[in-house]
Structure 1
Amino acid sequence: MRKALWLLFCVCSFSGALAQNLSVRGRIVDGKDQAPLIGSNVLLIQLPDSVRQGTAADGQGAFAFEGLTTGRYVLSVSFLGYTTLRRTLELNSQSLSLGAVALQSGGAVALKGVEVVGQAAASVQKGDTTQFDSRAFKTNPDASAQDLITKLPGVVVTDGKVQAQGEQVQRILVDGKEFFGSDPDAVLKNLPAEAIDKIQVFDRRSDQSQFTGFNDGNTEKTINITTKPAFRNGQFGRLLAGYGPDHLNSLSSGKYRLSGNLNSFKGTQRLSVVAQSNNVNEQNFGTEDLLGVIGTSAQGGGGARGGGRPGGGRPGGQQGGGQQGGAAGNFLVNQTGGISTTHAVGLNYSDTWRKKTDVQASYFFNLSDNTTQTSTNRLYNVLEQGRKLGYDENSDATGRNINHRFNLRLEHKFDTVNSVLWQPRFTLQRNTSNSSLDGRTFLAGSSDEPQTIQSLNNSRYTSAQDGITLTNQVLYRHRFARRGRTFSLGVNTTYNRRNADNYLTSRNYDFVRADTSATDQYSRLDQLGWNWNGSANYTEPLSLKAQLQANYTVSYAPNDSDKRTFDQLDGRRTPNDALSNVFRSNYLTNSAGLTYRYQFEKVEWAVGAAVQQAQLHNEQTFPRDLTTRRTFYNVLPNAQLQYKFSRQQNLRLNYNMRTQNPSISQLQEVVNNSNQLQIRTGNPNLVQEFSHNLFLRYSAAQPETSRSFFALIGGSYTDNYIGNSTTVLQRAQDFGGVTVPAGGQITRPVNLNKQYSLRSFANYTLPLKVIKSNLNLNANATFSQTPGIVNQGLNYNRAPSLGLGAVLSSNISPELDFTLSSNSSQTYARNTLLSQNNSNYFRQTSTLRLNWILVRGITLQSDVNHVAYRGLTAGFNQSYVLWNASLGKKLFAKQQGELKLYAFDLLGQNNSISRSITDAYTEDVRTNILQRYLMLMFTYNLRSFSGAGPADVPREGGERRFGPPGGGGNRPGGGGGGFGG
């Protein structure tokens, strides 16, 4: 009897436990095309006491309620433009999986042909997501997604790069799916604003975190664009052609621009084609379209010259105005400097196959011919005879870059508990370049201008480089019967190959020694790198509110670099062992960690740590044998905290500690003498750097007043920071087989401590109803300390900076669209080693953009940019105005065509200036830029939609718009909406 009672007690207890841990899951989709309705409001009401739980559908339209008890519930689902769905549910002993929950478009109240639509809230805060309603931001019918996004609070678009809430946007999705891979520029220029319904800004969690529901802190700033239902079935696109002479008396050569795109949307299936050819710096490059060997070969005879840290480029540069874009220094993703002719084509495809497989694929081809002319002035943090040491140069370079890029993302669900994610990526690059450089070192006078010339260098450099990158990521995921218990296994591989053939001829004049030398060399660089990474992740629910995650990661990265240099004399090549090097670096890490996560109502927090062992093995086999082995042990803590004051207001904190191993280019001790006044080499004794990162973010929105506020403060602290040891020679010296003249610079990477940076950003937006516009106010402050060794003295470069900005964007009508903005920054450069080089400089950029549709389809567009610099080197301070304008006329019955006369740089003042502040020097650079031209342009817009067309999309304020001003019907199949691109 006792055994029977005990068994009955266990069964009842087990049944009770199950009854307390039920769930309801589903996926919200469009009833017509089954597309996910991202951000749908899902409410679960328990009967009879009406206890409510709410959530928003995620990027796949999915939702879940957990920790439920048996009983009756009412499920309510709503989404703007759709009829609200209410369904009664009964939970017994098993959880419910509702599958696809379809909403039907409609829900508006029609009164005598007028659709009554409430005032759209500009922004709504939904947990981690800030959601903007496109109806609250009026744009011109010809506007692109970029025109709309730049009106959003806290969003800035510069040279195809997007910043939101003070952070770089890494990914832009369309209806939850990738559009042309991870290239934000392609989305912004190839999607019309009129197709956009909602814009969501959020920190996208990793695929691993999205599966487990366990926030591991690995996020990337993401924008998701949801399209209007009317645009999800049909074709739309744009064709553009334009030409203008370089000189009014010459039509044989001039500026031209050709571009076209076609998009076919059919439910979940989306196919897009884009193409362009122009010589007006419309480069439209993505993040991998600049050859990666420019960075990796700078230490081994590659094409980068001078610049800050290893890898080339000019950190911290401020860019000039116009369409020129900056030097390719910030992660090598900016538009290239100078003037470019570009030919590009891209394909994008996404679909859902048999409801179990989501596929997204894209292909890009780019060919760019570039001409760059730069003038550089550099002042070192060093004194000689009471005067500053300096360097200046003039360089001319031409280059051709060819790039092929393929991306695929395939996610397959075998069943409800097993899935696999496969993401291969392939990039093939070819770069050829020719450059000439005239540089000199000098002692500066009191005005910082050259006074005594020490040495001259005249060089010619030719390079042909190839690069292949292949990555393959596979993630298998399994969900156990117990809710919250998951297991996943990931394998990632990366293959890199870089090859370069370089030719250098130069003549050097040392006025201190009255000596002249000449160089004629050929060098060959071969680099091969692998990265193998395996990870296992397990999550275990400890209670309804607590969860534990355990993970293990192993990574192995072997890299080989072989650089051979030959002296060319009398048609023969003689090996130069001093400038040759064969080097191999292996980096092996093992890491195991635990993280505890707790979530209850308004509070979610997690804390954990990982134990990491890392082994760095360097082996040099030529010109002499050298082996170094190092083992590192680290405890890497992490923590996250999120507090939701309300649905519209939240606070988030993230902390982590990370390590970074030195690259093979930093480790390989081989001299790069492409400029004998600027010598660089590697350091095989480098160790890994480790950094602490802390960020605090606060978001709040008031939908009823269309006001919002966002603030961010954070920073990082790095020990063993890989900085530079810079030696500026006071007299000639032989270094690594190269004679460096007086005033020449020798740079070598070293590990240093106490590198840190702090930054803060705040944005406040409010509507100005009197003038029907939105006002965004922002402020930022940054502070950085960068250590470096200059002539054996430790220098800390400190650069505090303050900035203020304001953006006034119109919300008057689609026919009148303007944006007025101004941003100012004051930077203070301070050096502990040489206070004489302290400086202050000011930069202000003000912009007015106007798009106005006048009577009878006549259009007027004007962009005016004013840029002012103060505090730069003499001759580099600038104040100039870039003014672009066009006058056009809409054509055809549906106004799908437009002919316009476009003028670039009407005042002929366009300019490009950048300033760099490093631990060793302060540098100002001027680059050639596109100058004034006129162009006659013709644009044709394609529109063909099934069902309700774009013209039938309700407008804000209760209006229904049946055609653009000036006549013509904006009906399906064509019509007035423009197409950005």
Structure 2
Amino acid sequence: MEIYAQSGSVAATVIDASTREGVPGAVVEFAPADPAAQKRYFTTGYKGRVEATVPYGTYKVSVSFLGYETLEKELKLSVAKKSLGTLELAPSSTEIEAVVKEVKSMRTSQKGDTVSYNAGAFKVTADADVEGLLKKMPGITITDGEVEAQGETVKKVFVDGKEFFGEDVTSAIKSLPAQAVDKVEVYDKLSDAAEFSGMDDGEGYKAINIVTKPNMRQGQFGKLYAGYGYQPETEGTTSNHKYNVGGNVNLFHGSSRVSVIGLFNNVNQQNFSFEDILGVSGGSGGRGGVGALMVRPQSGVASVNSFGVNYSDSWGKTGRQDKVTLQASYFFNRTTTKNYSTIDKWYETPSPIDTLHTDGYSNNTNGNHRLNARLEWRISENQSLMSRTGLSFQSYDPYSTTYGHQWGESGLRVVDNFSDGDRTGVNLNQYLSYRTKLGKDGRTLTLDGSVRYRNNRGDTDSYSNQARGIDPDLIVVPTDTLLLRYQRAHSPSFSYNLRGDVTYTEPVSQYAQLSLQYRVAYNYQESDKKVYVTPDDRFETAGVEPDPSLSQSSNTGYLTHRIGPGFRIVKGKNRFVANVSYQRAQLTGEVLSATKVMGAGDDAKTSHGFNNLTYFLMGQLNINKENSIRLFINSSTDNPGIGELQNVYDISNAQSISKGNPHLRPSYSNNVRFHYVNSNVEKGRTFMWMFSMQNTSNYITSSMAYDVEVEVPTGEVDGGGDPVTETYNPHTYSTYTNMDGYWNLRTHLSYGLPVSFLKSNLNVMAGVNYTLTPTLVARKATDGSVYLNNGEIVGGERNDASRLSYDFRAVLGSNISENVDFTLSWHGAYNIAKNSLVVNDSDNKNRYFNHVATAAMKFVFLKSFTFTGNVSYQQNIGFTNDYDNSYVLCNVYLGKKVFRNRRGEVMFGVNDLFDQNTAFSRTTGSGYTQNSINSVIGRYYTVQFVYNLRNFGKRGSKDIKDYDGMGALGGNRRGVGRPPMGPPPGGRGPMF
């Protein structure tokens, strides 16, 4: 039985009558002959296609779109399927302003899992980019360049269905002007293989598709800017002289599109994403294998030089589809970040009750070349070949010094650390997919193969104080409290991953399909770490052998086989997918030691096998045109990385020693995600609810001991043949272990509606996030019940560190006119952190609250004068550790539109008017709370010039007027409602 009883499907394609191009984003209204019956609305998709399901009956069909005459047709529907063919929209012969008023209530629409936002319903000023537009849309938030939609991180941005700047979401949303956007679509993107086979494999992600206006797909447009500023007083992390030069240019010519972006500044503005590409950050690596280089902008003040280009085109036709399509992007950035930091850290039960205060300085330089390309060749109607390539080269040169004291139950310690590194890495990803249809609809064969290769090199010079703690009651600190240990580390590593998939699908009924998939994968990691203990800070290694207790060559390999069936049923617009697989993973590893260490002189080999059942369930229910539900339930495994498996000590910081664990097992996670979306088209209201849950067994976590003696073998033996060890007394010693009981639960609500009497849009978002992370914690015991056995902690207790966070956000965005743009927002979060080993409930809760209120505005008055302002108040309150940190950041600019068409603007202003900017952050963990303050840019004065490039071809310019103070497209003008130069609250991130 069909979900919609006595309903039929109506299909049509809406095109421009003059250009013959499809018109996506047009509003199609079905008005029943019965005036009491409810009207139904739909929007056209890619290339102007639309498919609507409506009850049998007689309708008046109206098709409207900005800049076109409304098209009306009569329809009598009495069959299951009916085609209206091609519907031609003629350019409007009336004032476009009237059309704008006619469709402005259409804020959102919904089709399946796709929520579509009508860009014309969210007004911004003339020179805004897509980021400024997204911030006003319900369910979308942007923080430090990371875009989140419906409670999930957006992984990719598409423009008219084509990838835009690969996985660099931040560059993508800053590279297009809001004026060119017709519609923004938020949806769950399937993997390439799943899109072809129709069998969701659980490897999809949240994506945004930006649909451009048809009359702006032929020409050149963008924004160029240059600014100079002067800061009278600086703290040494930046120059008194400020500069900011950059912009973006888009060259669109039909299917051929080139976008170029550039940015050069020393005001902490960053318009790109740091990707987790290499693993050259040093240390023992992080979760996921070889660590992460820089996945987010660092604390401090950055000087940035970046350049990027994106290209897409298509050639030929195979049936109704492009024969060959290409999307490629290249990006380069070089960032130097300087930072003076102050850290106050309180160690709490279950750790010794200590206080740590340090002052530090860092100067880190990061360089990155990144190339992404996607090439698809549609060989025939039934065959296609797709290639995806990613290549990157990255260099990272970190320099840091830290000095301070720690005092309390563990005594008095002097912290004196230094590190200077030089790291490089190459990363190559290649994916190929061959897909073919085998005659019968639904019968397909997909062959996928991928290769991932990483090659990293790291050299680090460092020293740290290894002296024991002293009596904190001493009035004078002894002069011998420093015992510096100097090290030079050389740690090359490489890894590769080979994977092959075969997927076959077979239809079993009109609505159902079966599949069978087999996957084989091999993941190999190799590391050759050599650490030299040198006599002084010259770090000379001539005649010095690697310290065998700190050095190790090792390799690991995971061979995984996975096979299992799948089932898919699609009826109407509802679907259900289920996959289950048996997985066999075989771990092989080898540790190579040149010298006997702790009695293990031979090559140590290991081999373990792991058996798992993995599953994936997905259900989508479209209740009606306004309500939809999506549910995901799946499991996954995660292998430990080479850094976590290496059985060597890391004493680069002698007060915090760590070591890997070669006995780690893969973790196993169960995941649930639920989405409910309601879009009330007539009233312009949108409601979204998201819930997610993750539970992990064999979770790879920290095992930590406080104030225990660490016996590190030197690699030498005494006269009796026993290994000689050196004793350390660090504040913390940590390794890795597997523990059950990791939980992460999150729920997120979003509600958006127009506020008519204010001519604005109000978006309200609220959420609750709960994380429970198990750790093993041990403190030195006088009875000897806590000790180390060959690096493993014996006698520790389980501590569940939990964090509960309640957050609320409200955003009021103006929709008054193109000359009045403002956004008012408030975001607050109340946090509670607990440790299960703390028995006293009053001491167990660490409660703190932070909130920020922001007002961003841009006004155009007297036709050509502008006022741009951004003011924010941020407050951080600690209830358990009593503190109150707050500041006001205010940026103001006065400007004048210049040139006959007013595409240029000259602005004068001041950044951080009250000179109160600070960068405060609070973090909590198992047994500690930390407050940190980092460098920011303070008050400076600036002058800036901005030019908006608008040059459209014959097809693209017929409905576009020059800028005359009323904006383009009959007043649908968009621009930036925030200061054009300078950092936002916290001193980081872009302001353009």
Instruction: Select 1:656's aligned residue among 634, 649, 652.
Output: 634
Separation in structure 2 between the aligned mates of residue 875 and residue 340 of structure 1, nearest angstrom: 32
| 1:558 and 2:524 aligned | yes
Instruction: Specify whether residues 60 and 170 from structure 1 end up closer, same or farther in structure 2 by C-alpha distance, changes over 3 A only.
Output: farther
Q: Secondary structure at the match of 1:334?
A: coil
| 1:347 and 2:309 aligned | yes
Name the aligned partner's letter for residue 641 of structure 2: S
Instruction: Specify whether residues 655 and 358 from structure 1 end up closer, same or farther in structure 2 by C-alpha distance, changes over 3 A only.
Output: same
Separation in structure 2 between the aligned mates of residue 559 and residue 252 of structure 1, nearest angstrom: 43
Instruction: Select 2:497's aligned residue among 531, 536, 547.
Output: 531
Instruction: Specify whether residues 734 and 234 from structure 1 end up closer, same or farther in structure 2 by C-alpha distance, changes over 3 A only.
Output: same
Q: Deviations over 1:595-616 (max 9, x none)?
A: 1112223642222311100111
Question: Displacement of 1:620 after TM fit?
Answer: 0.4
Question: Displacement of 1:811 after TM fit?
Answer: 0.8
Instruction: Specify whether residues 873 and 565 from structure 1 end up closer, same or farther in structure 2 by C-alpha distance, changes over 3 A only.
Output: farther
Q: Deviations over 1:765-809 (max 9, x none)?
A: 111111111111111011111100111111001212212221111
Q: Please name the residue that 2:830 is paired with.
A: 826
Question: Displacement of 1:881 after TM fit?
Answer: 1.2
Instruction: Specify whether residues 473 and 87 from structure 1 end up closer, same or farther in structure 2 by C-alpha distance, changes over 3 A only.
Output: farther
Q: Please name the residue that 1:220 is paired with.
A: 205
Instruction: Specify whether residues 113 and 709 from structure 1 end up closer, same or farther in structure 2 by C-alpha distance, changes over 3 A only.
Output: closer
Q: Deviations over 1:9-28 (max 9, x none)?
A: xxxxxxxxxxxxxx999988
| 1:268 and 2:234 aligned | no
Q: Any conservation in 2 of the 1:800–1:828 contact (CA below 8 Å)?
A: yes
Using the TM superposition, name which of 266-275 and 667-676 deviates more: 667-676
Q: Please name the residue that 1:584 is paired with.
A: 555
Q: Any conservation in 1 of the 2:175–2:259 contact (CA below 8 Å)?
A: no
Q: Any conservation in 2 of the 1:401–1:431 contact (CA below 8 Å)?
A: yes
Instruction: Select 1:788's aligned residue among 759, 775, 798.
Output: 775
Instruction: Specify whether residues 186 and 198 from structure 1 end up closer, same or farther in structure 2 by C-alpha distance, changes over 3 A only.
Output: same
Q: Please name the residue that 2:368 is paired with.
A: 403
Instruction: Select 2:335's aligned residue among 368, 384, 389.
Output: 368
Q: Secondary structure at the match of 1:952?
A: coil
Q: Please name the residue that 1:19 is paired with.
A: none
Q: Any conservation in 1 of the 2:29–2:42 contact (CA below 8 Å)?
A: yes
Question: Displacement of 1:507 after TM fit?
Answer: 3.6
Q: Any conservation in 1 of the 2:26–2:48 contact (CA below 8 Å)?
A: yes
| 1:628 and 2:595 aligned | no
Q: Secondary structure at the match of 2:617?
A: strand
Q: Please name the residue that 2:470 is paired with.
A: 512
Q: Any conservation in 2 of the 1:280–1:340 contact (CA below 8 Å)?
A: yes
Map residues 750-769 of structure 1 onto 2, 5 A cutoff: 750-769=737-756
Q: Please name the residue that 1:458 is paired with.
A: 416
Instruction: Select 1:283's aligned residue among 267, 270, 274.
Output: 270
Using the TM superposition, name which of 924-933 and 24-33 deviates more: 24-33
Using the TM superposition, name which of 514-523 and 580-589 deviates more: 514-523
Q: Deviations over 1:40-92 (max 9, x none)?
A: 78999xxxxxxxx99987667778999xxxxxxx9x9967456869999xxxx
Name the aligned partner's letter for residue 165 of structure 1: Q
Q: Secondary structure at the match of 1:217?
A: coil
Question: Displacement of 1:441 after TM fit?
Answer: 3.0
Q: Please name the residue that 2:864 is paired with.
A: 857
Q: Secondary structure at the match of 2:431?
A: strand
Instruction: Select 2:924's aligned residue among 917, 923, 932.
Output: 917
Q: Any conservation in 2 of the 1:109–1:115 contact (CA below 8 Å)?
A: no
Question: Displacement of 1:508 after TM fit?
Answer: 3.6
Separation in structure 1 between the aligned mates of residue 397 and residue 881 of structure 2, nearest angstrom: 35
Q: Please name the residue that 1:778 is paired with.
A: 765
Name the aligned partner's letter for residue 527 of structure 2: S
Q: Secondary structure at the match of 1:210?
A: helix
| 1:709 and 2:695 aligned | no
Separation in structure 2 between the aligned mates of residue 192 and residue 948 of structure 1, nearest angstrom: 19
Separation in structure 2 between the aligned mates of residue 27 and residue 493 of structure 1, nearest angstrom: 41
Which ranges of structure 1 fall in alignment gaps of 5 or more residues?
1-22, 45-52, 67-73, 89-94, 301-307, 314-328, 445-451, 954-960
| 1:335 and 2:297 aligned | yes
Q: Secondary structure at the match of 2:271?
A: coil
Name the aligned partner's letter for residue 133 of structure 1: N
Name the aligned partner's letter for residue 348 of structure 1: N
Instruction: Select 1:128's aligned residue among 91, 113, 122.
Output: 113
Q: Any conservation in 2 of the 1:269–1:351 contact (CA below 8 Å)?
A: yes
Q: Any conservation in 1 of the 2:629–2:677 contact (CA below 8 Å)?
A: yes
Separation in structure 1 between the aligned mates of residue 689 and residue 969 of structure 2, nearest angstrom: 43
Separation in structure 1 between the aligned mates of residue 662 and residue 902 of structure 2, nearest angstrom: 65
Instruction: Specify whether residues 311 and 900 from structure 1 end up closer, same or farther in structure 2 by C-alpha distance, changes over 3 A only.
Output: farther
Question: Displacement of 1:230 after TM fit?
Answer: 1.7
Which ranges of structure 2 fall in alignment gaps of 5 or more residues?
1-8, 31-39, 54-58, 76-80, 317-321, 472-479, 595-600, 715-724, 779-795, 981-990
Q: Secondary structure at the match of 1:209?
A: helix
| 1:148 and 2:133 aligned | yes
Instruction: Select 2:392's aligned residue among 404, 414, 427.
Output: 427
Name the aligned partner's letter for residue 408 of structure 1: A
Q: Please name the residue that 2:790 is paired with.
A: none
Instruction: Select 1:816's aligned residue among 820, 824, 831.
Output: 820
Instruction: Specify whether residues 243 and 606 from structure 1 end up closer, same or farther in structure 2 by C-alpha distance, changes over 3 A only.
Output: same
Instruction: Specify whether residues 645 and 97 from structure 1 end up closer, same or farther in structure 2 by C-alpha distance, changes over 3 A only.
Output: closer
- Number of corresponding residues: 896
Instruction: Select 1:229's aligned residue among 193, 203, 214.
Output: 214
Instruction: Specify whether residues 726 and 152 from structure 1 end up closer, same or farther in structure 2 by C-alpha distance, changes over 3 A only.
Output: same
Q: Secondary structure at the match of 1:770?
A: helix
Separation in structure 1 between the aligned mates of residue 705 and residue 18 of structure 2, nearest angstrom: 69
Instruction: Select 1:932's aligned residue among 919, 935, 939.
Output: 939
Q: Any conservation in 1 of the 2:220–2:250 contact (CA below 8 Å)?
A: yes
Q: Any conservation in 1 of the 2:910–2:940 contact (CA below 8 Å)?
A: yes
Name the aligned partner's letter for residue 790 of structure 1: V
| 1:800 and 2:804 aligned | yes
Q: Secondary structure at the match of 2:172?
A: helix
Q: Any conservation in 2 of the 1:876–1:924 contact (CA below 8 Å)?
A: no
Separation in structure 1 between the aligned mates of residue 266 and residue 620 of structure 2, nearest angstrom: 49
Separation in structure 2 between the aligned mates of residue 541 and residue 191 of structure 1, nearest angstrom: 42
Name the aligned partner's letter for residue 255 of structure 1: K
CA RMSD of aligned residues (A): 3.7
Instruction: Specify whether residues 636 and 79 from structure 1 end up closer, same or farther in structure 2 by C-alpha distance, changes over 3 A only.
Output: farther
Q: Secondary structure at the match of 1:799?
A: strand
Map residues 27-46 of structure 1 onto 2, 5 A cutoff: none
Q: Any conservation in 1 of the 2:912–2:938 contact (CA below 8 Å)?
A: yes
Query: Structure 2 length normalisation: TM-score?
Result: 0.84
Separation in structure 2 between the aligned mates of residue 41 and residue 826 of structure 1, nearest angstrom: 42
Instruction: Specify whether residues 31 and 569 from structure 1 end up closer, same or farther in structure 2 by C-alpha distance, changes over 3 A only.
Output: farther
Separation in structure 1 between the aligned mates of residue 307 and residue 326 of structure 2, nearest angstrom: 21
Q: Please name the residue that 1:744 is paired with.
A: 731
Question: Displacement of 1:963 after TM fit?
Answer: 4.2
Name the aligned partner's letter for residue 312 of structure 2: S
Q: Please name the residue that 1:5 is paired with.
A: none
Question: Displacement of 1:344 after TM fit?
Answer: 0.8
Q: Deviations over 1:345-371 (max 9, x none)?
A: 111110111231110111111111111
Q: Deviations over 1:888-916 (max 9, x none)?
A: 11111111111101321111111112222
| 1:668 and 2:651 aligned | no
Q: Secondary structure at the match of 2:549?
A: helix
Name the aligned partner's letter for residue 404 of structure 1: H
Question: Displacement of 1:920 after TM fit?
Answer: 4.2
Instruction: Select 1:164's aligned residue among 149, 153, 157.
Output: 149
Question: Displacement of 1:654 after TM fit?
Answer: 0.6
Name the aligned partner's letter for residue 519 of structure 1: R
Q: Secondary structure at the match of 2:649?
A: coil
Name the aligned partner's letter for residue 823 of structure 2: T
Query: Structure 1 length normalisation: TM-score?
Result: 0.85
Question: Displacement of 1:855 after TM fit?
Answer: 1.1
